[in-house]
Amino acid sequence: ILKEKGAAPSELEEEVAKALFDIEVSPSSDIKGDLRDVCLCSAQELEVKNRVALVIHFPFRVWTKVRKIQGRLIRELEKKFSKKHVIFVANRTILDKNFRRKGLQVRPRSRTLTSVHESIMEDVVGPTEIYGKRTRISVDGTKLMKVILDPKDKDKENVETKLATYAAVYKKLTNKEAVFQFPEV
């Protein structure tokens, strides 16, 4: 567990770290080689309708490794934390408009608010891919993002049941409304 400025990890984070460690040391695990260098920043629980979502934040440095094993790791963790939807998100930095105060010459496109929110959306729906996006602006000026997920993942691992969870987690992390759905055929 990597916490910034030496803060002590919470009970939930300890529990998640222990679960990751158990998966790493279990002899039957096919992903233990990939799990060796993986650490987490934080974990939080969110209430979604009648379920609890477990959001786990990983440092950006290890995110490429986590991405590779995301599907299998989520399955393993959901077995360990039954009745919880597990969602992985990378810890990204947003630099505001006056980034020069921090002594930087340029602000990389990957550090803009828009870019980070886009990436968070992709993280939240992961292992599934985003197939399309529509932004609907209603008469009173509120924006609603419709996110269409890849239809070939529709029958896989109860993704259908997680759509509400995705929306709630995305709302919590970015404060933007989004509706996740599969394309109607």
Q: How confident is the model at residue 116 (pLDDT cuts 50, 70, 90)?
A: very high
- The answer to whether 16 and 42 are in contact (CB under 8 A) is no
Distances in Å between the Cα of 112 and the Cα atoms of 66, 96, 98, 99, 137 are 23, 7, 12, 10, 22
Which pLDDT score is estimated for 146? 92
* Residue carrying the six token digits 């995705």: 166
Is the per-residue pLDDT at 1 higher than 80?
A: no
Helical H runs in 43-137?
A: 63-68, 70-80, 113-125
- DSSP at 129: -
- Please tell me the predicted confidence (pLDDT) of residue 135: 92
Instruction: Give the pLDDT confidence of 51-67 residue by residue, as tens digits.
Output: 888 888 888 888 888 88
Write out pLDDT tens, residues 9-43.
Answer: 778 778 888 887 777 777 666 666 667 777 778 88
What is the distance between the alpha carbons of residues 113 and 1, in angstroms, rounded to a whole number? 26
